[in-house]
Amino acid sequence: MEITVAKTAGFCFGVNRAVDLAFECARSSPKVCTLGPIIHNPQLVAQLEAQGVRAVDDLSDVPDDAVVIIRSHGVTRQIYDEIAARKLSCVDATCPFVAKIHRIVQEKSAAGSTILIAGDREHPEVQGIFGHCTGPVYFFKTADELLQICYNTPNICEKSCCMVAQTTFHTQEWENCVESAKKVCTNLEIFDTICIATVKRQEEARELAQKSDLMIVVGGRTSSNTAKLFQICREFTRSILVERAQELYDYNFAQVAKVGVTAGASTPACIIKEVRNTMSEILKNQEEEASFEELLDQ
């Protein structure tokens, strides 16, 4: 039996920075609120809450004397304006890679371009990007959806367009979208805004999945980058998605010898370690039971 943990599994630079800033704020300010949970990990959110950091859904829930933290996903222009209008003390933990997309769409929208966003329209990061656009915007998740937009929207392909991607967008699907867009749009600027941490994580997951009998993807069920890793792994081998190590006991691992482990960008290292150790214990017990049964058969 062999268990390989992907080197890229776990916190990315942007999440690490946001989590550090939240703990730092907890130490220095008595009232701290994050706009939405800082990461898709209930254990870490609970840990922060125990230190006085409350996750709120809406800016109106933030008291006037509290520090408000913007998480790595970023927020709309309107939220920045509201924070400024209320003179709230703010710690901006927007990932610099996301902030770069805000600048691109803001500049290109202002110059009259239509913005094409590859990503999940409901995701907070995409909502934030949308909130920095000032002109027409279209969303799509696949090359087919992009082509539908192009065919169904009169003259869109001749107008000036700017295409960006959610930072955690599926890299292969992005390539398909770029290829299709180039065929139909005559005045298009393409910005590959998928973050390098995502690219490396997806590449490593793909390679590991090809060599494994089973892939364990560790991460929140509401985390979009974890969902994409799971989707990639499933293309190559049997894969399961777990939030906690305990969930591994629900599965049957007969015939499994090579296990790969990867994790979403908001999965703490301690949970990845717990999953690795539990899996190792399960496989060891399985081996011992098998040899015991062999002995009984003799």
Active site residues: 125
The two structure tokens encoding residue 243 = 């939030």
40 marked as part of a ligand binding site: yes
- Write the CB contacts of 296 (distance below 8 Å, at least 6 apart in sequence): none
Nearer residue to ligand F3S within complex by CB, 34 or 72: 72
Q: Which residues of 251-285 are buried (b: 16+ CB within 10 A; e: fewer)?
A: eebeebeebbbbbbbbbbeebbebbbebbeebbee
Residue nearest to ligand F3S (CB): 14
95 marked as part of a ligand binding site: yes
Strand-pairing partners, residue 67, are 32, 89
Alpha carbon dihedral 61, 64, 67, 68, in 10-degree steps, equals: 40
- Torsion sign over Cα 213, 244, 16, 34: positive
The two structure tokens encoding residue 2 = 């062999």
102 marked as part of a ligand binding site: no
Type of residue found at 268: P
223 marked as part of a ligand binding site: yes
Distance of alpha carbon 117 from alpha carbon 120, whole angstroms:
9
224 marked as part of a ligand binding site: yes
Contact status, residue 6 vs residue 204, Cβ threshold 8 Å = yes
Residues that bind ligand F3S (CB under 6 A): 12-15, 72, 95, 97-98, 167-168, 195, 197-198, 265
Nearer residue to ligand F3S within complex by CB, 185 or 229: 229
Work out how close the CB of 232 gets to ligand F3S at its nearest, in angstroms, rounded to a whole number: 15
Quick one: the chain helix, strand, coil %, rounded to 5?
Answer: 50, 20, 35
Work out how close the CB of 124 gets to ligand F3S at its nearest, in angstroms, rounded to a whole number: 12
29 marked as part of a ligand binding site: no
Q: Name the binding residues for dimethylallyl diphosphate.
A: 40, 73, 123, 223-225, 266
Q: Name the binding residues.
A: 12, 40, 73, 95, 123, 167, 195, 223-225, 266
